[in-house]
Structure 1
């Protein structure tokens, strides 16, 4: 199929050609006709499938058919996105696709001064790309009016849910008009997103490119077992063996990302980090340096990575395994794009083995294990077994000690019985000694007591 077959206008076709687009991807084939027909769309697609063009191209065409005649343009299409980086990427896509159309687009996000964003809004825009937090801030200040929008788009809805934007989204849903066209795109479909879909979308066309939680076939997935302290050594060796490769490294925390960068820089490996604690300018510089091949390694947290869009990214390294299996799918979706072969390498310590098993269960296959003789995983299982063995040994020793005491008692009883047989008079004493009511502590106490009482009577007499 060609883009011409999707009934796209000449201006958009020309822009797509200038951007190097040759043929539509499956998500574009399914979504573009439905959007042009005015239908609500539910798109289940992973990162790197071409979903931005799947909603940007048809919305631009719809808006261009009835251009804004008012002096001050009102917002006609609203795109909600989870992060600044992804918002910038979507804005640039709208700008590039619509370069030959009389439409304006702007993007607003937090973390930077709002002055330029407010100026752009005052000039009027057709398409507004926004993160939920900054959108609500500017609405509260009276700078944004979304009550007249015609098209409402939620991109990476599951990621917005993960980031805690669910309440902001529901607040925005109450403000946008009931009569509108709604497009929602998500890589996964958790329960909360299903509730939003049922509330927000009317009889939507469902476009599912790949099963939710499946991985792209062009990505070769491998895993290496290694102790946490040796992960940096394993990563450094890999980077030095592949000096010309661009590598995106994922860590679980911001502090972890900074630590990996420092360790790599000490080893003379060019690396920068991108995460929420970095300023917007620092994040953009890091992205630009990585995209321009000025640095070999970009270390990122999951949330900050959403704006990274590189077609020929060779490797994704899971330095820390994600807590949520679906996040693994998001991560490795950064490589193996546009038909290029990609590689994902996961470094797994003993505590992360269960996370790996959850991921393999989700994607429905086992990930190939690569031997790691230089930095092997210490056999924690053996240590655990040794610990269990020690506990078991102590338990057995305790049982044996108890048994020995019982044996000793048995021997004493046997010895006592033998003595009673040879000395019958002891038998009665033994029985008397076992009488708890008597309170006597030793055999023969009663006889001695009787003698003492007899002596007392004699003295009295």
Structure 2
């Protein structure tokens, strides 16, 4: 199927051609006709599936048709709510790219910066507003934003809204919207609280489910490096000596850890910046821009700050520290291998992280191959039984106690039950 088969208008097809898009991803193929038919949609899709285009493209087509009938209206017609500033900015960039020939006006608003330019743009009139909940409610209270003529609501990354404590703010926003509207609800996971929220705001929705969170894309080549905690810095430097790694997104569990990795990389002459919650909005956006244009080679991120980062042709994700929530592993490595492209995910596992790796193996239903060809190999900790029917790729050692690449966790390695889970700290 091509985008032409989805009955898209010429201005949008022209923009998609400019972006190099020819074939829709599965979520785009399924979602675009539903949205064009003005139906509510419940989408369960992990990051990297092309989700933003799945709702942005049909929204632009709907609003373009409405604009022809009512060209003078300055009222906001579509509201996209999203949890983080970075994701809001990237969604707005997507609307700019796909809607470049439609004449529709869009704006992104978020906290942490002066509201002056945002307010001035609102006064001039916009069709599409992308917003984080806090700044939106603030501007609504100041009467700079009016939501009484919203025709389409998009709630994106709903599970992250829950994680970050925004659900009450989301409910406050929804209470200010017209009852009669089209609602599009997207979430990578569907815990009970998120399902309850969806049930309360959707009207007979069509459901689209693509690549559940328990799966990792087959296009991502995954490897585990067993390494002592004190050797991780040296191992990262060793890996980055490969000049074929033009850019790499490195994950840590904590803000302090991200800053420390950046400091260590700069010492050895590797350009790097950190992105996390303690950084100002300007610093975060500058780091992201520098990484996108490749003036910074390595971006070191924590999970909340990195959610929604969308970098074209990102080939490498490196888990400097394994996440203590297994679903987070899937989200992290989904930064590469996006929309069918290939990617490489390298993960460091020290003697305190065996339980985290065991939980990841359980979730994804396979054993990640071990790479023990590096200068700092460590005996593999005991990870518990490997998932049924799974086996490492040829040439790679297994992540379980019988893995071929690294020896089992005897001779001093801790048993699975002795590892202690760490609380989420960022």
Equivalent pair of 1:84/1:307 in contact (CA under 8 Å): no
Please tell me whether residue 19 in structure 1 is matched to residue 22 in structure 2. Answer: no
Cα-to-partner distance string for 1:107-158 (whole Å, 9 max, x where unaligned): 0011111110011111111110001111111112111111321100011111
Per-residue deviation, 1:184: 1.0
- Tell me the distance in 2 between the aligned counterparts of 1:358 and 1:19: 38
Using the alignment, how far apart are the partners of 1:191 and 1:79 within structure 2?
22
Inter-partner Cα distance in structure 2 for 1:376 and 1:3: 48
Distance in 1, matches of 2:290 and 2:122, equals 30
The 5-angstrom pairing of residues 318-333 of structure 1 reads: 318-333=319-334
- Contact 2:50 / 2:339 at 8 angstroms: preserved in 1? no
Higher helix share: 1
- Contact between 1:88 and 1:307, CA under 8 Å: does it hold in 2? no
Q: 1:311–1:338: 8 Å Cα contact kept in structure 2?
A: no
Q: Which residue does 2:103 correspond to in 1?
A: 102
* Shift in CA distance, 119/372, structure 1 to aligned 2, threshold 3 Å: same
Post-superposition offset of 1:325? 1.3
Flag the structure with larger Rg: 1
Distance 1:238 1:373, change over 3 A: closer
Q: How does 1:107-256 map to 2 (within 5 A)?
A: 107-242=108-243, 244-256=245-257
Moved more, 154-163 or 237-246: 237-246
- Give 1:372 shift: 5.8
For residues 146-177 of structure 1, what are the alpha-carbon distances to aligned partners after superposition, in whole Å with 9 as ceiling and x for unaligned? 13211000111112211111111122122222
| Length-normalised TM-score, structure 2 | 0.86
In structure 2, the residue matched to 1:350 is 351
Alignment correspondent of 2:276? 275
Q: 1:203 to 1:218 in 2, by over 3 A?
A: same
Question: Is 1:34 matched up with 2:34?
Answer: yes
**8 Å contact 1:230–1:375 — kept in the other structure?**
yes
Q: TM-score, normalised by structure 1?
A: 0.80
Gaps of 5+ in 1: 387-461
**3-state SS, counterpart of residue 248 of structure 1:** strand
Asked if the contact 2:245–2:316 (Cα under 8 Å) also holds between the matched residues in 1, the reply is no
| Aligned mates of 1:157, 1:136 — CA distance in 2 | 17
Following superposition, the deviation at residue 382 of structure 1 comes to 4.2
Q: Describe the superposition over 1:340-360 as per-residue Cα deviations: whole angstroms up to 9, x where unpaired.
A: 321111111222111111111
State how far apart, in whole Å, the 2-side matches of 1:373 and 1:152 are: 50
Q: 1:249–1:317: 8 Å Cα contact kept in structure 2? A: yes
What do residues 258-281 of structure 1 show as CA deviations (whole Å, max 9, x unaligned)?
Answer: 100001111111111111222222
| CA shift for structure 1 position 244 | 3.9
- Give the whole-Å Cα distance in 2 for the aligned partners of 1:211 and 1:186: 10
Q: CA deviation at 1:212?
A: 3.2
What is the RMSD of the two structures over their aligned residues, measured on CA atoms? 1.9
